[in-house]
Chain A
Amino acid sequence: MGSEIWLGLFSGIAFGFVIQRIGASNADKMARAHLMIEGDIPKFMLMAVILSAIGLLGLEAAGVANTRVLPTSLVATGVAGILFGIGWGFCGYCPGTTWAAAGEGRMDAVFALIGGLAGAAVFAHLHEFLIPLLYDPFNVGQITLVDWTGSRPAAVVLLVFIFGLCIGAINFLWKEKNDGQTQ
């Protein structure tokens, strides 16, 4: 129990530090990423996934990986994705970045954090009603790319290829404005 908390704290400090330095805890940068003005944050996220997937393959080979795949519910995961996108595009924060931004001293993030606590509490209250309605009937299980490719390394190659294409597309489509109004 004790070591788990220290590990969590240490991991969180490192994670919060890095996302602050890339600008992900800055809602202005996040909005500019969503508006296709600055591509650094999405490229950073996609590349981090590529490298983590390769690293996880190594952990699995070494037998030290702790994995837990969340199931796909066509309706619940879909509705949640749409709602989440609205909230993220509207306020420029996602759950993790509110903590880093609040720590950084951004007052609007403190309110996002409080709103988030309220949202989690309200969902928990409605869990009994919403999960059987939206999640369970459309749950297709813990499906992964491995189900299609047949082997784990092949699935990682496919993921690297898709995410690599996305990074290329962002490079091409996101228009960095270098005419002097960076901030």
Chain B
Amino acid sequence: MDKKNISTQYWPWLPAAFALAGIIVFIFATFGPPASSSGFVSLIKGAVQTVAPNYVENNPHYATMPDTGSWLFAFVLGMAIGGFAAGRTGRIPVKDIPEIWEKRFGKSRIKRFAATFVGGFIILFASRLAGGCTLGLFISGSTQLAVSGLYFGVLIFAVAMVTARLVYGRTGKEE
């Protein structure tokens, strides 16, 4: 009984994939390739240029990106609103520390928050080096049949799977 309730809190993957693909195709028709790591750059650019406009003007990375008054920033802001709306209308439990992390590393919030800060730093640093993230490079790229997206996709999945095994060790197997 309990098990069934938990699994039905999530959408089945196939209809969800149709929904996401519909949104992605809509974005290609109305904007261009969807991206989310660019939204981070837009937000940083918008913030930094209020205090150091010269620095932003002369930086080649910010030159390639619009500031917060853009589709790219509106999109990531929208994702937060969408996550909020879905969280409030659904029954998926929200936790500050994932269950599997708690089993492996305990209840320390400081430890988890420090870990996600470091993880977030690495994924954005890497995304900006490649020019995109899971969405902007792997999903958008592969949809456009780009070799860059497929190459990046193979690496991120393979390395993430190895990393998760190293991080969680036996915790994953005991589940």
Where the two chains meet, the residues of A that have a C-beta atom closer than 8 Å to any C-beta of B are: 1, 4-23, 25-29, 31-32, 34-37, 40-45, 47-53, 55-56, 58-59, 64-73, 76-96, 98-109, 111-125, 127-128, 130-131, 134-135, 142-146, 152, 155-156, 159, 163, 177-178, 180-183
- Interface assignment of B54: CB less than 8 Å from any CB of chain A: no
Docked-complex contact B73 and A44, CB < 8 angstroms: no
Tell me the dominant secondary structure on chain B's binding face. Answer: helix
Docked-complex contact A144 and B145, CB < 8 angstroms: yes
Docked-complex contact B130 and A80, CB < 8 angstroms: yes
Complex Cα gap A37–B83 (Å): 24
Docked-complex contact B43 and A117, CB < 8 angstroms: yes
Q: B144: which A residues are within 8 A, CB to CB? A: 53, 56, 67-69, 144
User: Which residue from B37, B83, B109 sits with its C-beta under 8 Å from A100?
Assistant: B83
Closest CB of chain A to B107's CB: distance in Å?
A: 12
Docked-complex contact B59 and A124, CB < 8 angstroms: yes
6 A-B pairs with C-beta separation under 8 A: A7-B30, A44-B20, A85-B158, A90-B115, A103-B80, A142-B148
CB closest residue in chain B, given A25: B83
Q: A91: which B residues are within 8 A, CB to CB? A: 115-116, 118-120, 123
Closest CB of chain B to A35's CB: distance in Å?
A: 4
**B136-175 contacts to A (CB < 8 Å):** 136-137, 139, 141-152, 154-168, 172, 175
Interface centre among B83, B85, B117, B145 (most CB of A within 10 A): B83
Instruction: Given the known inter-chain contacts A13-B85, A124-B59, please indicate yes or no for A116 contacting B124, CB distance below 8 A.
Output: yes
Closest CB of chain A to B66's CB: distance in Å?
A: 10
Complex Cα gap A68–B38 (Å): 14
Q: A152: which B residues are within 8 A, CB to CB? A: 145
CB closest residue in chain B, given A109: B116
Docked-complex contact B159 and A145, CB < 8 angstroms: no
Docked-complex contact A104 and B151, CB < 8 angstroms: no
Complex Cα gap A113–B71 (Å): 19
Q: B134: which A residues are within 8 A, CB to CB? A: 45, 88, 94-96
Docked-complex contact A16 and B86, CB < 8 angstroms: yes
- Interface assignment of B19: CB less than 8 Å from any CB of chain A: yes
Docked-complex contact B143 and A100, CB < 8 angstroms: no
Docked-complex contact A65 and B164, CB < 8 angstroms: no
User: Which residue from B40, B70, B85 sits with its C-beta under 8 Å from A8?
Assistant: B70
Docked-complex contact A76 and B80, CB < 8 angstroms: no
CB closest residue in chain B, given A104: B87
Instruction: Given the known inter-chain contacts A8-B78, A80-B126, A90-B118, please indicate yes or no for A121 contacting B133, CB distance below 8 A.
Output: no
